């Protein structure tokens, strides 16, 4: 919702290239329309986007666990690496959620899991083995199954804290 409201969505469309090009003005209030290939390619690219989001959220959550376990500040760590190679919208937005422990859903974990399962089903159809995606899907499956379905996907941090007996109040 925030991306659509701000007009910053990445809109990926597949189908007839000339037809899609003519729709740019229609989609402009919500974001940038990009032709990505034949019919079905838009859905495929949307799944790939969610794959990157999930893996990156998992990486940020694990890094937050590591720095805190070693005595560093999660907030200080996040501030220190911003602007470097690890900078991303995930670090900016979801890293902030992890620091502030604000897991009110923007993107509920149950939908992240749905998309990850879609990625794995598509990968199977394409005879691909995606070990990072398989692992993060297992983590989200456990988190959703343990009551995290309606918690923001950045709440995977809560799952990792529980897994490591480092739950916070």
Low-confidence ranges of the chain (pLDDT < 50): none
The pLDDT value given to residue 167: 86
Is residue 158 within a helix (H) or strand (E), and if so which, with residue range? helix 156-163
Give just the sign of the alpha carbon dihedral 14, 16, 17, 22.
Answer: negative
Q: For 25-46, how does the pLDDT look when each residue is reduced to its tens digit (9 = 90+)? A: 999 999 999 999 999 999 999 9
Whole-number pLDDT of residue 1: 73
40-163: CATH topology: 1.10.1040
pLDDT on residue 166:
93
Structure tokens at 156: 């995977």
Q: Which pLDDT value is given to residue 169?
A: 65
pLDDT at 99: 97
The pLDDT, as a whole number, for residue 4 is 84
Helices (H), 8-155: 17-21, 24-27, 41-69, 74-81, 89, 95-100, 109-125, 131-143
pTM listed for this prediction: 0.91
Domain boundaries, the chain: 1-39, 40-163
CB 50 within 8 A of CB 119: yes
The region that residue 105 occupies, defined by phi over 0 for left and psi between -120 and 50 for alpha, beta otherwise, is: beta
Q: Active-site residue numbers? A: 46
């Amino acid at each position: 919702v925030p991306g659509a409201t701000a007009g910053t969505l990445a809109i990926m469309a597949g189908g007839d290239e000339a037809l899609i090009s003519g729709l740019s003005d229609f989609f402009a209030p919500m974001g940038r329309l990009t032709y990505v290939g034949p019919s079905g390619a838009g859905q495929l690219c949307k799944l790939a986007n969610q794959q990157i989001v999930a893996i990156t959220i998992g990486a940020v959550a694990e890094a937050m666990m590591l720095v805190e376990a070693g005595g560093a500040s999660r907030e200080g760590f996040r501030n220190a690496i911003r602007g470097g190679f690890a900078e991303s919208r995930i670090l900016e937005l979801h890293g902030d959620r992890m620091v502030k422990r604000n897991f009110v859903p923007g993107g509920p974990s149950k939908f992240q899991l749905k998309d990850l399962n879609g990625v794995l089903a598509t990968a199977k159809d394409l005879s691909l083995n995606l070990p990072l995606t398989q692992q993060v899907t297992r983590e989200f499956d456990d988190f959703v199954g343990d009551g995290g379905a309606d918690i923001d996907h950045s709440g995977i941090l809560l799952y990792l804290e529980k897994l490591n007996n480092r739950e916070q109040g």
